[in-house]
Amino acid sequence: MQKILASAAVLSLALTAPALAAKPPKSLAIHNSAIVLDTHFDTPANVARSGWDIMARHSYEQDGTQVDYPRMVEGGVDGGFFAIFTGQGERGLDGNTAAMIAGLQRGLVIRDMVAKHLDQFVLVRTEAEARAVVATGKKFVFISIENSSPVAVNLAMMQTYKDLGVTMMGPIHFLNNDLGDSSTDPKGPEFHGLSPLGKQWVKDANRLGILIDASHSSDDVFDQILELSTAPIILSHTGSKAIYNHPRNLDDSRLKALAAKGGVIQINAFNGYMKDIPKIPEKDAALAELIKSVGGNPRDVPADQREAFNAGRKAIEAKWPTPKANLDDLMAHINHVVKLVGIDHVGLSGDFDGGGGIEGLEDITDYPALTDRMVKEGYSAQDMAKFWGGNALRVLTAAQAAAK
């Protein structure tokens, strides 16, 4: 009922807002009748910043962020997987211990966000819990891990993170780690797949009912996870290699193997993984210098430097503009995968607050526009219900059921 009322409010606004009026009522109704979730929000990095408020409406132009509660309401977004991300640092005991501590701290940031706003957010662990939250009009919060270095120090930590609320884990990020090979490490493969520790990680994830996320993993790691896992897996933010040949994307034979085991790929609306973007060395150097000036991590810019950082970023973009992927490019990825393996195995992630976003899909308020585009291309209400949340929830349930 709450979501129907929200839909009515949006339709009412359409009478006075030209941008909304352009969206036909049919697609708005379809969008608001689906459970809409994103499988990879990097938003906890923003929540952790001093002075940044998840309850305030921000804008990408204002502070570079893409997700907050008011925009979730505006975009008809019911919830998502809020990621515990730790960049790949030093390996071995000291490095993995530091990652473990950082991961726990970030997990507590997510739980604290929910605890402070119980009228808006609910921490959930299962599909049934998420659906129950939607019925109340609140937003559900799943917790995921991107880069499992926080558990590499001792795989017993997987239970600790599960107790914290984690329901999905990806083993690897941009660089190889003690679990296996990344798809993008410039040094190339180290283990040619999973390490022995990584293979045990897969078994423990299955035993605990944790959904395995193969995004960022090398093709060899993907193959070995798929072979070893007793449950379906997901790629929480990955594209089609047939549409754009990038190591982060998945080829057709692997997409078929993923689907055959009941898995799901969430198409990644990330500019650099969707089409060729020309390299401008001067621009890259200017961005690197800007990032260095705020401590070397664009995700953790101090509050008192955020305004200057954003102004500098905008100036660089204006001086050296580059083309961006758009909804046509995104639809090419979506349509290809649907044609190849069917609507039951496809979803979406904007990779928002982690570098994602394209023309026409710049933050979560643009999700209704994607529904409108897909409905115009012939996708049904049932298709959209699967695409926006049904498929991801199904595979999570399957992973948890396999553990039992």
The model's pTM is: 0.91
Per residue in 36-77, pLDDT (tens digit) is 999 999 999 999 988 899 999 999 988 889 999 999 999 999
CA angle 9, 11, 13 (to 5 degrees): 70
Region 3-31 average pLDDT: 57
Region 196-215 average pLDDT: 98
d(CA 184, CA 175): 6
Per residue in 340-386, pLDDT (tens digit) is 999 999 999 999 999 999 999 999 999 999 999 999 999 999 999 99
Question: Which contacts (CB < 8 Å, 24+ apart) does range 225-228 have?
Answer: 225/171, 225/194, 226/254, 226/257, 226/258, 226/261, 226/263, 228/194, 228/199, 228/202, 228/203
| Residue 205 confidence (pLDDT) | 98
pLDDT higher than threshold 60 for residue 24: no
d(CA 23, CA 333): 23
Q: Find which of 9-23, 91-105, 306-320 is predicted with most confidence, using mean pLDDT.
A: 91-105
Reduced to 3 states (helix: H, G, I; strand: E, B; else coil), residue 50 is coil
| Residue 9 confidence (pLDDT) | 47
Domains and their CATH numbers in the chain: 2-277+323-403 (3.20.20.140)
pLDDT higher than threshold 60 for residue 10: no
Per residue in 170-179, pLDDT (tens digit) is 999 999 999 9
d(CA 401, CA 404): 5
User: Which DSSP category does 388 fall into?
Assistant: I
Q: Are 25 and 11 in contact (CB under 8 A)?
A: yes
Residues forming beta bridges with residue 140, ordered by sequence position: 79, 122
Query: Which residues lie closer than 8 Å to 270 by C-beta, 6 or more apart?
Result: 237, 239, 351, 355, 356, 357, 358
d(CA 43, CA 139): 14
| Residue 299 confidence (pLDDT) | 66
d(CA 258, CA 367): 26
Per residue in 215-257, pLDDT (tens digit) is 999 999 999 999 999 999 999 999 999 999 999 999 999 999 9
Residues forming beta bridges with residue 123, ordered by sequence position: 141
